[in-house]
Chain A
Amino acid sequence: MTTSVSIKDLSLNFGNVKVLESLDLEVAQGEFIVLLGPSGCGKSTLLNCIAGLLDVSDGQIFISGKNVTWDEPKDRGIGMVFQSYALYPQMTVEKNLSFGLRVARMPKEEVEARVKRAAEILQIEPLLQRKPVELSGGQRQRVAIGRALVRDVDVFLFDEPLSNLDAKLRNDLRIEIKRLHQRLKNTMIYVTHDQIEAMTLADRIAIMKNGVIQQLADPHTIYNKPTNLFVAGFIGSPSMNFLKGDLNGGTINVSGTPIPLTNYAFEQQLNGAAVLGVRPEHVAIGEEARKMPFQVESEIEIVEPMGADTVAWTKLGGQQLTFRAAAEVHLEPGQKVLIGFDPARGSVFNAETGNRI
């Protein structure tokens, strides 16, 4: 596997504010990497650095084996898609697509061929003579993708491309981007704050916070084995339950309720303050709960029917616990139910450092 984009020891400061600090990232050829994080975590900044739209303070960027740290965006072999589409409003779709090629003074036949191919792939041929204002949001974003496509580049950069679209279109275009990646097999770096987009699209997700990559792994690992409390809380909706307690000899005591962590694969030994993370979807109720290694009787406080399933809020040892139940299960506030889960599927964190143990 060859490296497509390689970022070495990258730092970026705006005055005294350190946005990115000694960041390293290796992206393999053809890989789909998602940079995920809350706003202000530096993910878009990192993407702009890769694109060459921001000058870095320190470090190096390699694209396809070439050091592009000082290169202009156009010389880096990248195409970029922006959140606000950034289509040139006074040009037709065709002119929008061909703008970069015309700037580079490419022969006319070549330009036409490339525009035709991109329009075919994205199914926007009927729109070629229209202006961006005459297009819907989804069509505009396709054109924006097409503008990256015609450049015939190695690396595609997406800066929150679906954030301006409504929920249904977002789903449709997400699938199309995935299909596009499977067809073109280009390297893609995709910035988003939407965890669903990240989970569904990525080969690997890089979760960022305060300019530092917290965890870089495939979606399955990110979801099941989060490396720290931040990642655990950021991924998953409703978010993971955190039960604070005292860890002692393989049992965590949550405000008087002991939960034995049998079969949990500890990465390190620790006795003291710890946090047990349990995903709401890993909590079972009723008959299912009886099969679980840990069971407890609890009273339901709030019920949120979501349609496909129901989220219920309850308490365990005085601490908030949510769980997901099938939509058919009838739940009412005040009802007492038996809930249970397998602590081995959960995650245990050091309460002080927040890291997984």
Chain B
Amino acid sequence: MTTEAISSRLPTGAIDTSGPRGPRPKSVTIGRIGVYAFLILSALFFLLPLWVMVVTSLKTMPEIREGHLFNWPALLTFDPWLKAWDTACTGRDCNGLKPGFWNSVKITALSVPVSIVIAMINGYALSFWRYKGSELLFGILIFGAFVPYQVVIYPLIIGMRELGLFATLPGIVIVHTIFGMPILTLLYRNFFASLPIELFKAGRVDGAGFWGIFFRIMLPMSVPITIVAVILQTTGIWNDFLFGTVFAGRENMPMTVQLNNIVTTTTGIREYNVNMAATILTAAVPLVVYFISGKWFVRGIAAGAVKG
């Protein structure tokens, strides 16, 4: 076919070029306004309890009794906060939430690194050093994520008692490590599985062994996923109530357990302002973690790890 033959088939008349050109203009539609209106209203609705908590914690008890739930305090007071932190009574002790806070810090600060280091090694071994039965072991570990905690609590209590670790700090750290293991191992295994296997092979050809490849090649690469793991574990362990009640013992009672004791005290009047302040104080740590690390946390959820 010749060039002339092709060009003779093209239309000879001029084309109308006055139509759309360039990027399509962005338009504000009714639907879009509706979507935003709905989102804003939902956000306000879900923020309402927080608002009530904050304003109640800043009111004096007489003002609370007036019953204007949503009003800004007429007489602003920070005494409930101080009382919640320092002098609120749980049973016979009147030291506020302070000891619970430091207990929670201790438990979290120990459990998070221990569980993450073990899970990291697990995930690394399961994705790069496949051995006979490694898939089965991984399956069992994942199955562990679906076992309801209540089922294993009693055997675990007996086990801890026999080891002499019941109601001790190492005891509660071990419990958190065990229960964090399935989800964290999954997280790390999936992360390591996403790295090219050739990286591992190159390490072996270069003469690095199990630990050499782990510490010198894999560990420096797993910073992003470790941030996700730290967030998951920190918030999870801080928010824990069940294990804290059962395994921590009176000496190491975490903040959540102490909060519960303050709020459910049955003697005397109910100090709603103190209760609200104490609750906000307890929730503050995970809230701060969420706010600081929102992007990373979403990534963690996307990585298939949603901790209940």
Q: Report B184-213 CB contacts with A as 1/0, cut-off 8 Å.
A: 000000000000101101111111100010
Least distance between B184 CB and chain A CB atoms (Å): 22
Give the chain B neighbours of A83 by CB distance below 8 A: 198
Does the CB pair A86–B204 fall under 8 Å? no
| B242 CB-CB contact with A under 8 Å | no
Decide if A82 touches B202 in the complex (CB within 8 Å). yes
A147 in contact with B202 (CB, 8 Å)? yes
Contact B206 A86 (CB under 8 A): no
Binds B, one of A70-78, A216-224, A265-273, A342-350: A70-78
**CB neighbours of A86 from chain B (8 A):** 196, 198-199, 201-202
Q: Which residue of the partner chain A has the closest CB to B217?
A: A88
Interface range on chain A: under 10, 10 to 19, 20 to 34, or 35 or more?
20 to 34
Of A79, A83, A90, most B-chain CB atoms within 10 Å = A90
Closest CB-CB distance, B19 to chain A, in whole Å?
36
Given contacts A73-B204, A99-B206, A147-B206, are A89 and B221 in contact (CB under 8 A)?
yes
Complex contact A103–B201 (CB within 8 A):
no
Given that A89-B221, A90-B221 are contacting pairs, would A100 and B201 also be in contact in the complex, using a CB cutoff of 8 Å? no
- Complex Cα–Cα for A52 and B201 (A): 10
A53 and B206: CB pair below 8 A? no
Chain A residues whose CB sits within 8 angstroms of the CB of B220 once the complex forms:
90
User: Of all chain B residues, which has the CB nearest A99?
Assistant: B206
For B206, the chain A residues whose CB sits under 8 A away are 74, 99-100, 103, 147, 151
A159: which B residues are within 8 A, CB to CB? Answer: 198
Partner of B204, one of A72, A79, A87: A72
Whether the pair B207, A74 counts as a contact (CB closer than 8 A) is: yes
Inter-chain contacts of A93 with B (CB < 8 A): none
Q: How far is the CA of A80 from the CA of B206 in the complex (A)?
A: 9
* Interface contact A82-B201, CB-CB below 8 Å: yes
Cross-interface CB contact of B205 among A73, A88, A332, cutoff 8 Å:
A73
Residues of chain B within 8 A of A79, CB atoms compared: 205
- Is A355 in contact with chain B by the CB < 8 A criterion? no
A51 at the interface (CB under 8 A from B): yes
Chain A residues near B212 (CB-CB < 8 A) = 103
> Which residues of chain B have C-beta atoms less than 8 A from A88's C-beta?
199, 202-203, 216-217
Is the Cβ of A100 less than 8 Å from the Cβ of B221?
A: no
Report Cα–Cα, A99/B198, bound state, in Å: 15
Q: Quick one: which of A135-152 are within 8 Å of B by CB?
A: 147, 151
Please encode chain B, from 24 to 66, with 1 for each CB lying within 8 Å of some chain A CB and 0 for all others: 0000000000000000000000000000000000000000000
Minimal beta-carbon separation of B63 from chain A (angstroms): 58
Complex CA–CA separation, A282 to B205 (angstroms): 46
A residues with a Cβ closer than 8 A to B are 48, 51-53, 72-74, 78-80, 82-90, 99-100, 103-104, 147, 151, 159, 332
B interface residues with partner A (beta carbon < 8 Å) = 1, 196, 198-199, 201-208, 212, 216-217, 220-221
28 contacts between A and B (CB under 8 A): A53-B201, A72-B207, A73-B207, A74-B205, A80-B202, A82-B198, A82-B201, A83-B198, A84-B196, A86-B196, A86-B201, A86-B202, A87-B202, A88-B199, A88-B202, A88-B203, A88-B217, A99-B206, A99-B208, A100-B205, A100-B207, A103-B206, A103-B207, A103-B208, A104-B207, A147-B202, A147-B206, A151-B206
